[in-house]
């Protein structure tokens, strides 16, 4: 039975005393953390009170004008390195006519910010940005009305510069003096009209990000850097494989080691707590050598995976149907069919997952790199049968993310350990092999594409079949989503979510085709899976744009002209045309040692447009190839911060190149083999291609998410470039050089 709800007074007291206030781009010094016997530290912005979030419709849930002359923006979205903080500040500063230098941001904190679910799907600017823009516009209108009433004039006669309202007669008053320390009360009504883009001062400017400067200088920024008074250090020993169960452990031998405070054993959940981190690491190594496990082999091995998908998935989900499509394909003058495969991919975060948790008098605070603090809170409440009002989750950036990695699991484990040590902050960091072996992967996927077209290169009919495991097992109120909850005694049941929409994301061609059909086969595979950047869009776009390139070659058409002929959306055409212009497509220098490949996609068929050209260089003697250059063009509507958009796009292009050319999770009957950077290599700086990104700014349209737009097109473009250079088509990722038919190259 869950604990009773805290009273409003008790909740406010908890929010003021449990945890610290995460504001702006600074992690240390801590805002405040009061525990018995712990020294209280001052917040960076002492004028900002900790006010619980109440209602998403209230202005004060998104915008606060602080007494000392600052604007505080509040967002439920987590900073994942995508630069969302500076973008949201620019949006708010623009609508309120306040210099961004006067602005700071609180984000992703169940004690203060709105519940915006998960930071995922490139939705932050579209979702949080829209809410903040509307709230800021409403706040500005109300402030102008207040000033107009004071001066006996009309609001539309007033002007604002850096938070100072001016009347035609020369009267001046600041927002802050006008409010006299009070909040702007009331809901966002929609009465206020946001500023016209022609009057923008800050939106569209390449404002610098403080977090990048901190990272460059090696200053405290990540959850890994967080230190609290009296903090203890922990390590968890995960089982060697999914089905393994703990048989025995001589814990006395571990507990006798220097600095070790306790070995925690609950079912197959094993953890050690120490005074210092290195002591915890040494104890972890000792536990690993002493523990014995009962194991069961993984039955479906990598070589059997594609056949297993196609033979065990059952009745398909009919996502989109077209009567008689198979006959239309068969009767087409030109027809083609091909199969493609994407392996399991891992997030492979640079910093192993980390969290800090504190229990005190039935109150739990967790500092976490999760992508959803409210879903995390709900899941912790389920795990501990605790009322959600007694849990506060504070988002802190993690070193690497791109979806549902180990950040949620480590947060649940830190809380489990902290419950054993009331009043003591517990810092838990995973070991590298735990990160590689136990994070939820992006699922393997299989694709079968069939299409028919006429002799002039007009697409007539297209069928897509997809086989995929789940793309979302995020913690969202069910404790079984925490992997270690399944190892407790008794174990917490895990029920895999469906979220099949992630499987067929970008699976339906955007091209103008009279008959389209998509069938999805849901598959339960041998490895743990969840959200990875782009979900199914990466694999679907790789398969689709590779298949399209095969059709183009079969019809002996130009890749640019073919796409333009079969696209209707003017913005899609402009992206492809701009790519051809910027990359010098018509004047490219073709030789026997290089190849060029093009790919295009509109992410989710509804957000950012992206086209890319890949150039590869072939070394036939060494039987190797090198990705020389990637040129991309992106249309994300209104550009908030051009540097931020370029950074997001470049990062996506490089990560996709790494996934596509070399990354795959290797496993055998005994479990995951890819335990480190040697067994799971990623692209290094020496092998990274030259990257060139061109932006199409459309200030008269809404901004769109861009973080995941580049993933799929880059994979296909590289595959198409390899074919252009070698005549060898690689349909199974990764695009390793040994898959090229070198003997067939003239």
Q: Which H or E run includes 551?
A: helix 537-555
Whether the per-residue pLDDT at 121 is higher than 60: the answer is no
Residues whose CB is less than 8 angstroms from the CB of residue 561 and which lie 6 or more positions away in sequence, other chains included: none
Please tell me the predicted confidence (pLDDT) of residue 25. 29
pLDDT at 728 over 50: yes
Decide if pLDDT at 637 tops 60.
yes
Average pLDDT over residues 180-191: 86
> What's the whole-number mean pLDDT along residues 581-597?
91
Indicate if the alpha-carbon torsion angle 318, 320, 324, 326 is positive or negative: negative
For residue range 297-311, what is the model confidence (pLDDT) as tens digits?
999 999 999 999 999
Determine the average pLDDT of the residues in 437-450: 97
Question: What span, in angstroms and rounded, lies between the C-alpha atoms of 504 and 710?
Answer: 17
pLDDT at 44 over 60: no
Does the pLDDT value for residue 30 go beyond 60? no
Is the model's pLDDT at 204 over the cut of 60?
yes
Mean pLDDT of 683-703: 95
Task: Quickly list H helices, 456-523.
Answer: none
- HSE (CB half, 13 Å, CA atoms) of 648? 32
Q: Which residue has the higher pLDDT, 300 or 746?
A: 300
3-state secondary structure of 420: coil
- According to CATH, the topology of domain 229-296+351-438 is Aldehyde Oxidoreductase; domain 4 (3.30.365)
Query: What integer pLDDT is reported at residue 400 of this predicted model?
Result: 80
Q: Which of 659, 665, 120, 27 is nearest to 373 (CA)?
A: 120
Instruction: Classify burial at 492, counting beta carbons within 10 Å of its beta carbon; exposed 0-12, middle 13-18, buried 19 or more.
Output: middle
Mean pLDDT for the chain? Answer: 89
Judged against a pLDDT cut of 50, whether residue 8 lies above it is answered with: no
Query: 367 vs 219, 399, 478, 616, 699, CA distance in Å?
Result: 18, 14, 19, 44, 37
Position 36 scores a pLDDT of 30
Q: Is the pLDDT of residue 479 over 80?
A: yes
| 170: Cβ contacts below 8 Å, ≥ 6 apart | none
Provide the 8-state DSSP code for 685.
G
Mean pLDDT, to the nearest integer, of 672-685?
Answer: 95
pTM attached to this predicted model: 0.90
SS3 729: coil
What confidence category does residue 498 fall into, taking pLDDT thresholds of 50, 70 and 90?
A: low
3-class DSSP state of 559:
helix
Lowest mean pLDDT among 166-175, 421-430, 492-501, 517-526: 492-501
d(CA 417, CA 379): 16
The pLDDT of residue 160 is 93
pLDDT in the model for residue 12: 38
The DSSP call for residue 732 is: B
Please name the residues in contact with 672: beta carbons below 8 A apart, sequence gap of 6 or more.
241, 436, 437, 527, 665, 666
For position 122, what pLDDT does the model report?
A: 58
Query: What is the reported pLDDT for 15?
Result: 38
- Euclidean distance between the first and the last CA atom of the chain, given in angstroms as a whole number: 73
Q: Can you name the CATH fold of 445-744? A: Aldehyde Oxidoreductase; domain 4 (3.30.365)
Share of the chain above pLDDT 90, in %: 72
Phi, psi of 160, deg, nearest 5 = -135, 135
Average pLDDT over residues 666-679: 95
Indicate the class that CATH gives domain 51-216.
Answer: alpha beta
Mean pLDDT of 38-49: 36
Kindly tell me if the per-residue pLDDT of 33 is higher than 60: no
219 pLDDT tier (thresholds 50, 70, 90): confident
Ranges in the chain annotated CATH 3.30.365.10: 51-216, 229-296+351-438, 445-744
For the stretch 396-417, pLDDT in tens is 999 887 889 999 999 999 999 9
């Amino acid at each position: 039975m869950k604990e009773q709800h805290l009273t409003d007074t008790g909740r406010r007291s908890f929010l003021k005393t449990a945890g610290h206030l995460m504001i702006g781009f600074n992690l240390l010094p801590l805002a405040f953390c009061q525990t018995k016997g712990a020294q209280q530290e001052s917040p960076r912005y002492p004028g900002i009170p900790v006010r619980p979030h109440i209602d998403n419709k209230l202005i004060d849930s998104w915008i606060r004008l602080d007494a000392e002359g600052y604007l505080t923006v509040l967002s439920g979205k987590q900073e994942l390195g995508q630069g969302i903080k500076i973008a949201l500040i620019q949006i708010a500063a623009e609508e309120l006519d306040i210099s961004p230098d006067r602005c700071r941001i609180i984000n992703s904190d169940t004690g203060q910010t709105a519940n915006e679910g998960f930071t995922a799907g490139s939705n932050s600017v579209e979702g949080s940005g829209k809410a903040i823009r509307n709230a800021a516009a409403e706040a500005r209108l109300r402030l102008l009305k207040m000033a107009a009433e004071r001066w006996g004039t009309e609001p539309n006669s007033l002007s604002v510069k850096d938070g100072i309202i001016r009347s035609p007669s020369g009267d001046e008053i600041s927002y802050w003096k006008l409010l006299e320390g009070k909040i702007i009360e009331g809901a966002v009504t929609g009465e206020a009209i946001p500023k016209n883009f022609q009057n923008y001062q800050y939106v569209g400017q390449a404002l610098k990000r403080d977090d990048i400067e901190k990272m460059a200088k090696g200053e405290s920024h990540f959850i890994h850097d967080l230190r609290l008074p009296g903090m203890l250090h922990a390590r968890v020993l995960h089982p060697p494989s999914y089905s393994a169960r703990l048989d025995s452990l001589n814990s006395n031998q571990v507990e006798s080691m220097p600095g070790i405070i306790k070995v925690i054993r609950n079912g197959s959940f094993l953890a050690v707590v120490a005074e210092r981190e290195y002591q915890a690491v040494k104890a972890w190594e000792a536990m690993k050598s002493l523990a014995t496990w009962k194991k069961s082999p993984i039955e479906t091995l990598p070589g059997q995976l594609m056949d297993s998908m196609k033979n065990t998935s059952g009745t398909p989900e009919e996502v989109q149907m077209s009567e008689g499509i198979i006959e239309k394909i068969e009767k087409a003058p030109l027809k083609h069919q091909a199969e493609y495969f994407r392996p399991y991919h891992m997030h492979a975060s640079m910093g192993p997952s980390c969290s800090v948790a504190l229990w005190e008098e039935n109150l739990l605070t967790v500092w976490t790199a999760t992508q959803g603090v409210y879903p995390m809170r709900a899941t912790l409440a389920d795990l501990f049968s605790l009322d959600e009002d007694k849990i506060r989750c504070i988002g802190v950036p993690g070193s690497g993310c791109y979806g549902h990695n180990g950040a949620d699991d480590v947060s649940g484990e830190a809380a489990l350990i902290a419950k054993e040590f009331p009043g003591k902050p517990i810092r838990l960091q995973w070991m590298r092999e735990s990160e590689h072996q136990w994070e939820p992967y992006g699922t393997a996927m299989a694709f079968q594409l069939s299409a028919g077209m006429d002799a002039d290169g007009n697409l007539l009919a297209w069928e897509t079949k997809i086989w995929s495991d789940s793309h979302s097992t995020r913690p969202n109120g069910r404790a079984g989503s925490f992997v270690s909850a399944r190892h407790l005694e008794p174990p917490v049941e895990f029920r895999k979510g469906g979220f099949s929409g992630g499987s067929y994301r970008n699976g339906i061609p955007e091209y103008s085709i009279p008959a389209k059909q998509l069938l999805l086969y849901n598959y339960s595979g041998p490895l743990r899976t969840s959200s990875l950047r782009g979900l199914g869009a990466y694999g679907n776009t790789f398969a689709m744009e590779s298949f399209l390139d095969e059709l183009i070659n079969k019809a002996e058409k130009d890749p640019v002209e073919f796409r333009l002929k079969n696209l209707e959306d003017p913005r899609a055409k402009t992206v492809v045309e701009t790519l051809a212009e910027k990359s010098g497509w018509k004047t490219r220098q073709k030789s026997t040692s290089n190849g060029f490949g093009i790919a295009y996609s509109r992410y989710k068929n509804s957000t950012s447009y992206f086209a890319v050209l890949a150039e590869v260089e072939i070394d036939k003697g060494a039987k190797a190839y090198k990705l020389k250059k990637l040129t991309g063009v992106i249309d994300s509507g209104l550009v908030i911060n051009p540097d931020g958009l370029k950074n997001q796009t470049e990062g996506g292009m490089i990560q996709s190149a790494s996934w596509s050319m070399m990354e795959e999770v290797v496993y055998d009957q005994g479990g995951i083999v890819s335990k480190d950077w040697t067994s799971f290599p990623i692209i290094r700086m020496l092998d990274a291609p030259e990257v060139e990104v061109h932006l199409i700014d459309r200030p008269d349209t809404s901004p769109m998410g861009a973080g995941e737009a580049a993933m799929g097109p880059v994979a296909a473009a590289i595959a198409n470039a390899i074919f252009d250079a070698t005549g060898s088509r690689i349909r199974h990722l990764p695009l390793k050089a040994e898959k090229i038919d070198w003997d067939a190259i003239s």
